[in-house]
Amino acid sequence: MQRVMIYGGSGSGKSTLARDIGKITGLPVVHIDPMYFRAGWVQRPNSETTKLILAAVATQQWVFDGNHHSTFPERIARADTVIFLDFPTWLRLWRVISRTLRYRGKTRPDMAPGCPERFDAEFIFKWVAGYYWRSHKRDLDIYTNLPRDKTRHRLKSARQVRIFLKALSSK
């Protein structure tokens, strides 16, 4: 395991899992959110985000959390392991709301500097609650059609994540 791609709906635990895998394996962790935003929640142009993602993907080792589907072909091509976090909407909503309350006014460790956590109704309804209608089928199709040479994991519960991490720790 040298290059791990983690994707799934907002609030599924991509960043947390990436940090945990990084701690266990010693692989560098790459969070996508700082590639989307500059300080003050200023969104980078899509071309700049893509350029940052592709530069990170070109390195030898990584645990890369995040979506940005336009770069999936390049990330999948370089990844040896792909993890799809396929959690139910109610749990992802709970996690995003909990995260918002826990970090409110502070910047999360996986976020761009100068982007303090805040309640964002559009994000919650469009990206978290709307994930199953907007992106789930595409994400599942991506997982189902991964090249055969990729190690793949579709984790659907916190219990499955714990089992995965325990198995990884024992290697």
Rg (CA), the chain: 15
Report yes or no: 118 and 40 within 8 Å, Cβ to Cβ: no
The predicted model scores a pTM of: 0.95
pLDDT of 82 reads: 98
Residue-wise pLDDT tens digits, 120-145: 998 999 889 999 999 999 999 999 99
Flag the least confident range among 31-35, 58-62, 126-130, 154-158: 126-130
- High-pLDDT (> 70) share of the chain, %: 100
Mean pLDDT calculated for residue range 34-39: 96
Could you give the CA distance from residue 66 to residue 52 in angstroms, rounded to a whole number?
13
pLDDT of 74 reads: 97
Quickly tell me which residue has 């589907």 as its tokens. Answer: 69
Closest to 62 in 3D by CA, of 91, 109, 28: 28
Task: Sketch out the chain's domains with CATH numbers.
Answer: 3-169 (3.40.50.300)
Could you give the CA distance from residue 140 to residue 170 in angstroms, rounded to a whole number?
29
pLDDT of 42 reads: 96
131 exposure class (CB count in 10 Å sphere: 0-12, 13-18, 19+): buried
Closest to 82 in 3D by CA, of 10, 147, 28: 147
Could you give the CA distance from residue 95 to residue 58 in angstroms, rounded to a whole number?
31
